[in-house]
């Protein structure tokens, strides 16, 4: 029984594959998805949709708002907890 469980765990690890890197850069509000033969990719680095659309013009690409944009100040500030003593 223990061998079967070990075999199932090993198979799950092999089939699952490695985790991918984060696609969206949270530092930028707009990203562009580029469609090309054999390699589609997303690049963030635009401050507005207009700026992205100017870069995407004439290419097989589309611009979109970054769903992971952290905002102008970077990460959200954490709340401080007061101690009761």
Q: What is the pLDDT of residues 13-29, one digit of tens each?
A: 544 544 455 689 999 99
Domain-wise residue ranges, the chain:
28-68
**Which of 20, 70, 61 lies closest to 43 in space, CA to CA?**
61
Band (pLDDT 50/70/90 cuts) for residue 32 is: very high
The torsion region of residue 40 among left (phi > 0), alpha (psi -120 to 50) and beta comes to beta
The overall pTM is greater than 0.85: no
């Amino acid at each position: 029984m223990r061998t079967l469980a070990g075999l199932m765990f090993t198979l799950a690890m092999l089939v699952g594959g490695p985790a991918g890197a984060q696609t969206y850069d949270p530092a930028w509000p707009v990203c562009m998805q580029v469609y090309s033969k054999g390699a589609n990719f997303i690049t963030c680095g635009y401050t507005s949709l207009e700026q992205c659309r100017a870069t995407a013009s004439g290419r097989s690409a589309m611009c979109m708002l970054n769903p992971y944009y952290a905002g102008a100040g970077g990460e959200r500030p954490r709340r401080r907890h007061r101690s009761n003593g």
